[in-house]
Structure 1
């Protein structure tokens, strides 16, 4: 299978598409601290979550859509077509976010996560060279307080419109806010060792200004927020039944969330059915693998054994890291057989901030930045006695290599892409779908030849498949929390009751629709590859397929299909899918 460059785009259409991408990039770069830190640029301000800011972003997106519409019927071709597809989907997402601003959660653990990230990406790495740096730092502390204040404003505005955080999630919300209050008050206080290049007067000015802001703006903003979600009237009105369909206009908002997160147009009802189908298929494969392990009892009995199997648990964070590194060491020599280009940035593992571990089920991937050039999986090391490592191989292949790191580091390193597409990860279906597909490559690479690792991978796949069922069921109102708990318990091999509770609240109260991205995206990639294999036959080259996907960076799936049709020999002039 040979990669083809595609046709030459109309120059004027391509230039206008590039101008639009550059304009969108400039707009976001001025507002997104994460984009600035990735580029090594100073962070000048921190955004809030006000309705005015949401309207500004939605209005800009509407302008982009209007300019894209004006290009028709002269649609761009070649790489410019990828950029146009990216821009249209990005602008449509932003427009829908503005439409459902008051129905989007804000004061929930995962939504509040960026406040903790600011400590790691903005405040702790901040370098003090001159008095102007001290002044900018003080402005950022004030902005952080303003950001927290706008979260409080939005919570109050949502309550006035009948939207309250679901009652089962409120304990976790208050715990997270209390921890974030303490954490933020610590991380904005720069230690003396970082201030040595400043003069004595500048150091004193900085310390006094920060202390005053913490006492008069930052902590009061957190206190107000905690008081809002703990107010007796708020608690009385908070719905006991979870799920977005239970809010006025909530079902429409949830369907928009699903479109945004999955980067596709499969309705949630079909995703629900797909999840049940996959759970049944994977359950049968897991039964066969239990036989390989010599176990003849029921799945429930086997899972009771898993809870006491010594090889599945670590006593220390260092043991957790060693387990992950061992799996990566097995993978490394195999990579050139599946990938034509490897990312230049190195990768590794590091523990999650312990302050966040109680409210996050697992961990997260932290991409390389100018200040921190190593991509890292930040793992959760809390409650190790009950945190099974059954799926450690599948998890680390998802999070680092050849999963998130291969996608995101390659994208950032690809100077052929416009800045917007190099730095933005706007389509979760692609991001999480690639990571799940990449972890699945372990089957053909022989990395799951150990039956325990194989069972862990199957359990991980079924875990993501059950999310299709539970997320849609809870948010469409067809499953209660207890029904979802029963289903999840039956389809989760190694998760504790505490993890199940955290996960369910994540789906139904915090990030509705986001959990669909893993299995839905995996299905998109596997279907895409299968179509390529059918079309190319014996000429199919897996390295060429992977390079076509990764060299284009993050794309919504319709644009990705068009890219593969254009770039891979054997598909020019006919659709990738016969029913399209």
Structure 2
């Protein structure tokens, strides 16, 4: 502990925690383009995925853990306790990432997503004011090529260690890489209209240099990467059976991924059991809604009807957007009754880049930045004839309001938080768990009064519950791909065969453990609120509960439970400590 002769040990501890948080922020801000763009700062470089970069981050994180350890026995109190919990969990994640560097996927569609994002967040918005800007742009194009090259290096290094992308995923990998090669080569070529502030000579030099870099560094880096995963030797040795347990030390890596994504210690075997229990419970509730709709047949027969129900499909992207906006319009006037503070940033919907639509099941939330101050849900508008809107209400409440947008925009707007906690979203269990909990609030708000919307929400909940079963089953090696497909097909209401295939490959070849965060996080928030309601009784204030959660920003669940205890019940005289989800909580 740092000794401060002029102040109390508690003051000294708080200052040391603040120093560690500021140091971590400076470290990440120098390396993460997303953090710089959100702050409106110029992006100076693009990171790669090399072992050296991973080791650097792990060493820094180990130093932070050492600093936190030196604080004992003086445990922090008040908001400093939140920051300490955040720092400890963040650093532990980074150390784990270093330990399992060679067992972490890197050339699969979701992992490659940031290459496409660089076009939207770095290159297309780039402003050319001076010659120095042109020089920085050239550096970024070169960095992009280096980033792709490090992906190739990692793929080659993984293959040498017996880790190859699972064979069923390789077609999608090839498609994604081919599209990204074309897209990246296109988005780094700045159009003439953006270069008018530069002199004629500078414009010509910039165009020539970028063309040379595309031809000699960027495209060759992509070509090498494609050649690596398409090499006959690689293809013959790519594992046919999917899941992390198929790799040497893969099960240990998967368990680490689960801990990181869920921010908890529930073992994957128990999550698997919970998923099966939740699927049964939700299936019964879905049966009751079918009865309300006057349907007496089987679930399978009802789902065949869903595939041809006109009200569940849109003909154009504009119709998709109109459906989402209609649900949001119903929600908006109800929000003040449930939330004491609303985000200042507006939100909207916009289409996903078509280059990504084929390899992503749905879409994603794009948070506000300094240069793009509107939070957006980027929806997938591909194959609309087979893309059901049954769950449109549940989806948009999850993605925008009161889900991701409420959490992330409020966090970014909260100047009481340290920079690290304002800008970083490090705990997926909180992020996706809040969004699922928030979408579930619509039950209490009466927004699922239409039985079709109710069925869509229940189907969405069961979809996230089946992920607990399938993700763990595939990655622990207790389910084959076909067994998982059969289970998922039986518990999916409106997903096409193509969507099911994409999802299964996401779980078992691309983002192992990430899909658990939705239902596992939902269970954490549900249990936390139930504990607070039991403790407060008739005095429970749902707006105060939500404000206590959102005002603290993203936290790992152990730190969130400590925060709720402190803020709602005080540092002393507490009647009940909020607990995690009980066994079987739904």
Measured against the shorter chain, the TM-score band is over 0.9
- 1:414 matched to which residue of 2? 414
Matched, 1:77 2:83: no
Partner of 1:378, secondary structure, is strand
Instruction: Answer whether contact 1:4 1:568 (CA < 8 A) is retained.
Output: no
User: Deviation per CA, 1:164-207, whole angstroms, max 9, x where unpaired?
Assistant: 00000000000000000000000000000000000001000100
- 2:52 matched to which residue of 1? 52
Aligned residues: 577
How many angstroms does 1:263 deviate by?
A: 0.8
- Name the CA distance, whole Å, in 2 between partners of 1:453 and 1:344: 28
User: Deviation per CA, 1:514-534, whole angstroms, max 9, x where unpaired?
Assistant: 000000000000000000000
Instruction: Answer whether contact 2:471 2:508 (CA < 8 A) is retained.
Output: yes
CA separation of 1:309/1:25 partners in 2, compared to 1, >3 Å: closer, same or farther? same
Partner of 2:569, secondary structure, is coil
How many angstroms does 1:574 deviate by?
A: 4.8
How many angstroms does 1:328 deviate by?
A: 0.1
Instruction: Answer whether contact 2:4 2:12 (CA < 8 A) is retained.
Output: no
Instruction: Answer whether contact 2:527 2:585 (CA < 8 A) is retained.
Output: no
- Name the CA distance, whole Å, in 1 between partners of 2:519 and 2:96: 23
Instruction: Answer whether contact 1:4 1:569 (CA < 8 A) is retained.
Output: no
User: Deviation per CA, 1:72-95, whole angstroms, max 9, x where unpaired?
Assistant: 110100000000000000000000
Instruction: Answer whether contact 1:255 1:267 (CA < 8 A) is retained.
Output: yes
Instruction: Answer whether contact 1:377 1:400 (CA < 8 A) is retained.
Output: yes
- 1:322 matched to which residue of 2? 322
CA separation of 1:579/1:543 partners in 2, compared to 1, >3 Å: closer, same or farther? closer
How many angstroms does 1:374 deviate by?
A: 0.1
How many angstroms does 1:573 deviate by?
A: 7.1
How many angstroms does 1:4 deviate by?
A: 28
Report the TM-score, using the length of structure 2 for normalisation.
0.96
Instruction: Answer whether contact 2:523 2:585 (CA < 8 A) is retained.
Output: no
How many angstroms does 1:105 deviate by?
A: 0.1
Q: Extract unaligned runs of 5+ from structure 1.
A: none
- Name the CA distance, whole Å, in 2 between partners of 1:74 and 1:105: 40
Instruction: Answer whether contact 2:3 2:12 (CA < 8 A) is retained.
Output: no
- Name the CA distance, whole Å, in 2 between partners of 1:4 and 1:442: 50
Matched, 1:579 2:585: yes
Instruction: Answer whether contact 1:165 1:238 (CA < 8 A) is retained.
Output: yes
How many angstroms does 1:5 deviate by?
A: 26
- Name the CA distance, whole Å, in 1 between partners of 2:96 and 2:184: 31
Instruction: Answer whether contact 2:2 2:12 (CA < 8 A) is retained.
Output: no
Which stretches of structure 1, 4 residues or longer, exceed 6 Å deviation after superposition?
1-9
After TM superposition, list the pairs within 5 Å mapping 1:173-322 onto structure 2.
173-322=173-322
User: Deviation per CA, 1:2-30, whole angstroms, max 9, x where unpaired?
Assistant: 99999998100000000000000000000
Instruction: Answer whether contact 1:3 1:567 (CA < 8 A) is retained.
Output: no
RMSD over aligned Cα atoms: 3.4
User: Deviation per CA, 1:244-277, whole angstroms, max 9, x where unpaired?
Assistant: 0110000000000000000111110010000000
- Name the CA distance, whole Å, in 1 between partners of 2:41 and 2:217: 27
CA separation of 1:483/1:574 partners in 2, compared to 1, >3 Å: closer, same or farther? closer
User: Deviation per CA, 1:338-378, whole angstroms, max 9, x where unpaired?
Assistant: 00000000000000000100000000000000110000000
Instruction: Answer whether contact 1:6 1:566 (CA < 8 A) is retained.
Output: no
CA separation of 1:79/1:4 partners in 2, compared to 1, >3 Å: closer, same or farther? farther
CA separation of 1:573/1:522 partners in 2, compared to 1, >3 Å: closer, same or farther? closer
- 1:130 matched to which residue of 2? 130
- Name the CA distance, whole Å, in 1 between partners of 2:57 and 2:2: 41
Instruction: Answer whether contact 1:189 1:210 (CA < 8 A) is retained.
Output: yes
How many angstroms does 1:569 deviate by?
A: 3.0
CA separation of 1:479/1:573 partners in 2, compared to 1, >3 Å: closer, same or farther? closer
- Name the CA distance, whole Å, in 1 between partners of 2:6 and 2:503: 44
Partner of 1:348, secondary structure, is strand
How many angstroms does 1:314 deviate by?
A: 0.1
- Name the CA distance, whole Å, in 2 between partners of 1:409 and 1:123: 24
User: Deviation per CA, 1:492-522, whole angstroms, max 9, x where unpaired?
Assistant: 0000000000000000000000000000000
CA separation of 1:241/1:127 partners in 2, compared to 1, >3 Å: closer, same or farther? same
How many angstroms does 1:398 deviate by?
A: 0.1
Partner of 1:6, secondary structure, is coil
CA separation of 1:113/1:28 partners in 2, compared to 1, >3 Å: closer, same or farther? same
- Name the CA distance, whole Å, in 1 between partners of 2:336 and 2:429: 26
- 2:484 matched to which residue of 1? 484
- Name the CA distance, whole Å, in 1 between partners of 2:327 and 2:424: 29
Instruction: Answer whether contact 1:407 1:553 (CA < 8 A) is retained.
Output: yes
Instruction: Answer whether contact 2:2 2:16 (CA < 8 A) is retained.
Output: no
Instruction: Answer whether contact 1:107 1:151 (CA < 8 A) is retained.
Output: yes
- Name the CA distance, whole Å, in 1 between partners of 2:285 and 2:113: 36
- Name the CA distance, whole Å, in 1 between partners of 2:273 and 2:503: 20
User: Deviation per CA, 1:267-290, whole angstroms, max 9, x where unpaired?
Assistant: 100100000000000000000000
Report the TM-score, using the length of structure 1 for normalisation.
0.97
Instruction: Answer whether contact 1:507 1:514 (CA < 8 A) is retained.
Output: yes
User: Deviation per CA, 1:385-425, whole angstroms, max 9, x where unpaired?
Assistant: 00000000000000000000000000000000000000000
